[in-house]
A and B are shown apart, each in its own frame.
Chain A
C-alpha cells in the first residue's frame, strides 16, 4: 500500500482525509499534529472562550475515528524537515517515509513588532491551548486589551468579556473589520460592540507592552496607556509555509498550488490555510473544504475536479451582533450600490451590483438573508428581474415558505458544500429526522454553524419524524441557559431586565423571559436591583391575582393559618364594602376575597390593615400548621409558633416558583408537611425537615433533608434549603423538580452538610434579601409607578 503522510491535523487536512477515505485506492495513512488534541473545529474556539461550548463539544473527529479508519495519528509531534529526494519527513527524532505528502500546516498568528511582546499573559488566539491559557487567567474584573479589531479580535474580546473581564479592543485603522467592511458598516459594528460593553479604540498603533515579567499595560504610539492584565494579539494570520520553502517547494505567501492542489513537486500537495492558489490564501472554512474535495480526487488518481477560487466571505460569530460580508465592499467605478440603514435598530445593508450581477454584500445588524446573497454571488445570478426588491424579498406567509423558495441545487451549508437537494435525499433515503443525524449523515451544519437554522427548517418541513433539538435556553429572546445567565448577570453587574435583554438578547423580550429575568436580577443582587415593573406580570404590578373577568383576588397573610375575631370582622367588612363576589377558605388555611376591582385594591388593603399573602406571585405562600402542643392531646412539638416564626422569616421573599410550607406537631402530619415544598415534622424531642414535596399537578412525597433537635436548628435547615433553591433552581422550577434534578444527597452537601462558611454565606444573602424586602401591599399608600392602580381619567370629556 502506498504511504500517505498528512502534516497537520486541523480542519482542512482532516476534511480532505475524510474525502480521501471515501475513494479507492486505499493508503497507509499517517497524520502528524503538533497540537496534542484530536481534530477540533477551530472556528468554534470563540464559542469555547465565550462559554457557549465546552472544549469537548468542538471535537470533529475523536480518537475512535482515527482507529476505525486505520489512520496512524501522531499527536504533539512537529515535522521539522522534508527530504524530497529520500521521501522522508523528520519529526522529533522520527523519520517517516511517504509516497505522497499532503501539507496542511495551516497558519499562525501574525505577531507585529511590539516591544515587550514576550511578557506573561500575552496570548494569541489560534488554538485550543491558547483558549485554555486565556481562560485560566480571565477572571472577574480583569482588564484585558485585544490588539486588532478584525473578526478574530472581536470574537476574542467578546469571549473575554463574557468571562467577566473589562475588555478594550485597540484597532490600527479607523474601521473595525476593515478587511470586510466599509467605513459605515464599521461604524454600525462599533456601536453594537460598544453596546455590549466592550471599549473600542480605533486608530491606535501599539508601541509597547508594559510590565515587569507579567504584562501590566499597553502603550500606544500616541502616548496613551491602557491598563491590561491580559493582552490578546489578533493582528491577522500568516500561512505556515516554511517547511515547504526549506524543502525547495515553490512558496510565495503560501505554498503555491494549481487548480488540482498540486505543488511544484509531483509527490507533494497542499491544502488549507497554508496553500496559495492564484495569489489568494483562504482563511475561511468553506473554500478550504472545497480544496479538500479537489485534492482528495487528485491524490487518489481521480484527477479532474478543479479548485477555481472562491468569493471571500466572512461572518462574525458573536451572539446578537450579526455581521456578514462577501465579495467587494467598497464602491468603485461601474458598481451600483443598493443601501439600507436604520440607525435606531443598528441595521446596515449594502449590496454592490455590477452588470446586474451581485458582486458584494455587507450586512450589519441583520444577516438572516446572507445565504440568499451568497447564492447570488456564487451563481452570478442575473438580478434584472429582482432589481426592485433586492433588499426586501416579498414576505412569505407560511413557515415552510423560505424552504419552498429554495431551489434543490441551492447550497445550504457553504462550509461543507451541502445542497438542499442532498439534505432532502438524506431525509428520504437515510431516514434522517434530527439535526444530529443530519450532521452525521451529510456533514451539513458542522462547519461554522450558521446554516443550522435553515437545516432545522428543512428538517421541519420535510422530515416525517422531525424533533426539534431542545436546548434548555430561557427563550428565543435570550438564548442562554439560566445557569449561564446567572453567571453573566453577576459578572457583568447587570441590575435590570432591560440591560440583560439589550446585551444578551433581542432587546424586546417576551412574557417568558421578562418575569424570569426579573426574578434572576432580584435574587442575584439580593433585592438590590433596579426593579422594572414593566417586566413583571400584571399580578406582580398590582399585587393581586388577575381573574378571568379582569378583576382580582385578595388574600391577606394569615401566618400559620392563625387569625382572630378582630381580623375576621375586618375581612367581613371589607368583603361587603368592596362587593367581593365570593369569600372563600383556601387550601392554604387562608381567606380569599374574589372579584375585587383593580382601582379598589389600595383601599381594601388599607381597610384590612393586613399584609400581602403573596398568593398572586412566585414567592412565599404560606406555612400551614396544626395546633401542636398548644392544644392537641398528641402534639409533641409547638407547630403553631414554629410555623408562624418560619413564615415571618421568609415572607415577602420571591422564589423561582411558588413555595408552600407546613409545620406539623407530630408524625400524624395533620398539616400535610410531607407534600409541601418545605415541611417540618415534629417528633418526640426532634424535628424532621423535609423538602421537595408536592400535592398539585404532581404528587410527590418530600425527601428528608435532616433531623435536628431544636426548633432553631430546624428553622435554619429550612432557611438553608430555601436560599439554595432560590439561588440555583431555574425560574418556574418547583422544589419537587429541583430536588429530583439535583438529587437530595447533593442538596444536603450544599446546605445542611456544607462548610460553615458556605452556610453562613447562604444565610447572609437570605438576610440581605429579607432586609430589602417589604410587604407589597404598602404600595397601596405610595404606588411605585404613576397610575399603578387607577384608571386614567381623560383630561377632556368625550361629547356623547
Chain B
C-alpha cells in the first residue's frame, strides 16, 4: 500500500479539520496536536461534513446534529449506536501529511469479511 502526499501540515491548523478529495473519496484530516487523524468526511447520521467539526480531544463533533465520532477508531460515541466511519492511517513526514488509502483488493476483502 502506498502513502500519498496530501498537503503541508501547516494547512491543517491545530484542533481543526480539512477536507480533501482523493480519487472521488471525501476524507477529513484532523490535526490533534502532535498527531493527525483521518476519517471519511461524512457523518453516518445525515452526511454532515466532519471536517467542519469542533474537535474535543480525539473526538470530532459533527456540525449538523452533534454526533460524536472517535477519530482513532471511527466509532460513533454519541449517540450510543454501533456504527463506524472509515478511518485512514496518517503520518507526517518532512512537514507533509501523508495518508494511506486501502487498495481495491483489500477493500473488497474487507467488504466480503
Contact = CB atoms under 8 A, between A and B. Distances in A.
B56 A511 contact: yes
A428 interface: no
B13 A795 contact: no
Interface string A778-800: 00000001110001111111111
Interface in B10-36: 10-16, 18-24, 29
A127 B107 CA distance: 68
B46 A548 contact: yes
B22 A798 contact: yes
Contacts of B18: 787, 791-792
Nearest to B29: A792
A563 interface: no
A533 B101 CA distance: 29
A786 B10 contact: yes
Contacts of A535: 15, 54
A510 interface: yes
Interface in A331-362: none
Given A514-B56, A794-B7, A534 B14 contact: yes
Contacts of B11: 786-787, 792
Contacts of A26: none
A550 B59 CA distance: 20
Contact of A550 (B20, B24, B49): B49
A416 B109 CA distance: 59
B90 to A, nearest CB: 13
Contacts of A541: 16, 52
B48 interface: yes
Contacts of A649: none
A550 B15 contact: no
B57 interface: yes
Interface string A494-538: 000000000000011111001100000000000000000111111
A792 B96 contact: no
Nearest to B7: A792
Contact of B52 (A508, A515, A538, A799): A538
Interface residues of A, number: 33
Contact of B54 (A511, A786, A798): A511
B6 A795 contact: yes
Contacts of A533: 13, 16
Interface majority SS (helix, strand, loop, mixed), chain A: loop
A168 B29 CA distance: 42
B102 interface: no
Contacts of B61: 510-511
A546 interface: yes
Nearest to A532: B15
Contacts of A477: 56
A793 B7 CA distance: 7
Contacts of B49: 546, 550
Nearest to A549: B47
B44 interface: no
Given A508-B57, A514-B54, A794 B4 contact: yes
Contact of A534 (B29, B54, B57, B59): B54
Given A550-B47, A785-B13, A787-B12, A794 B22 contact: yes
A125 B89 CA distance: 54
A792 B20 contact: yes
Nearest to A398: B80
A794 B56 contact: no
Nearest to A795: B5
Nearest to A797: B23
A799 B4 CA distance: 11
Nearest to B46: A548
Contacts of B53: 538
B55 interface: yes
10 contacts: A507-B57, A510-B54, A511-B54, A546-B63, A791-B19, A792-B19, A794-B7, A794-B22, A796-B6, A798-B22
Given A534-B14, A794-B5, 18 more contacts: A508-B57, A510-B54, A510-B56, A534-B15, A534-B16, A534-B55, A535-B15, A538-B53, A546-B63, A550-B47, A550-B64, A786-B13, A787-B7, A792-B6, A793-B20, A795-B5, A795-B96, A796-B6
